[in-house]
Amino acid sequence: MLAVALRVLFLWLSNRRWMARVALGTPFLRRMPLRFVAGTTLDQAVAAVRELNARGRSATLDVLGESTDDRDSADRAATAYVATIERIATEGLDANVSIKLSQMGLDLGVEECLAVMAPIVAAAARHGNFVRIDMESSPTTDRTLEVVSRLRADGHDVGPVIQSYLHRSPADVERLATEHVRTRICKGAYAEPPELAHQEREAVGDAFVALCQRLLEADAYPGIATHDPEMIQRVGAFARRHGIGKDRLEFQMLYGVRRDLQRRLVARGYRVRVYVPFGTEWYPYFMRRLAERPANALFVLRSLVGEHS
């Protein structure tokens, strides 16, 4: 009951833009979004990435925005991503970009989405950079993987995210592993029914480790996206047992989350990439992340007060 009430509350708050001004004007509240979002401008995001790079961490930049079925809006979002890729190259940053296809007009159809993506992947190709295609809720999975497949067929360096809680994910990862596609594995945060997704934490974690192991075996350079020390230990132990070097994988974490664990992994010689969201749409993004999983609210608070330096 509490989780349902919190979900309703966060969704209601996500549509109250005046709350964004209140949050930014209140010192304690301001710490929450500014801890997990790198700012509203590309300049602020670049500064955040520069600091991460100085601390031995790579980054992936996400230009926050809303899903759209309007081509003009999708093209504007694509233009922002092109500018981000160009800035990464100009600044010499160790970074790439992560893109949600709903922001690129996926609801207009795969062909329209590919047309919107064309200038982004062209910019990435000019600079020898990689484009991560994020995964969203299960109704978009097939279309997302189709976009990835078609972009790769045209020679573009792109790779998807696979969510370990989906029952279909082992088959998807098997195809990606066979083709040595650079894939990020995460647990998944959308509300999916039992017929589509594991509901038990242990089952999701076991599936996560198994998918990472398959990609490691295939030498597909997995992005292991977790803040869970147990998952990190299990994947790392598998790699050591099989003589897989630390340069053949990377751990990925959210901006502002478990910075202590990020430091420890870097000190141990692992590659760490930090997911860095930025943009004016930070407020609805932040609230919807809490609504998707109300337990995240407690996670945010624990991160603020409990992270040890």
What is the 8-class DSSP label of residue 304? H
Considering the candidates 62, 132, 172, 184, report the single residue annotated as catalytic.
184
Q: Read out DSSP for 13-70?
A: HHT-THHHHHHHHSHHHHHHHHHHS--SSHHHHHHHHHHHHHTT-EEEEEE-----S-
| 58 within 8 A of 250, measured Cβ to Cβ | yes
Tokens of 112: 């329209």
| 169 within 8 A of 162, measured Cβ to Cβ | yes
Does 247 qualify as catalytic in the annotation? no
Give, in degrees to the nearest 5, the angle at Cα 163 between 39 and 282. 15
Q: What are phi and psi of 72, to 5 degrees?
A: -60, -40
Tokens 């600079």 appear where? 127
The C-alpha atoms of residue 68 and residue 56 are separated, in whole angstroms, by: 36
Does 273 qualify as catalytic in the annotation? no
Helices then strands, each counted (H, E), the chain = 13, 8
Considering the candidates 57, 62, 132, 134, report the single residue annotated as catalytic.
134
Q: CA 56 from chain center: how many Å?
A: 19
The C-alpha atoms of residue 33 and residue 272 are separated, in whole angstroms, by: 22
SS (H, E, C) 60-122: EEEECCCCCCCHHHHHHHHHHHHHHHHHHHHHCCCEEEEECHHHHCHHHCHHHHHHHHHHHHH
Q: Which residues neighbour 201 within 8 Å (Cβ) at sequence distance 6 or greater?
A: none
Residues designated catalytic: 134, 184
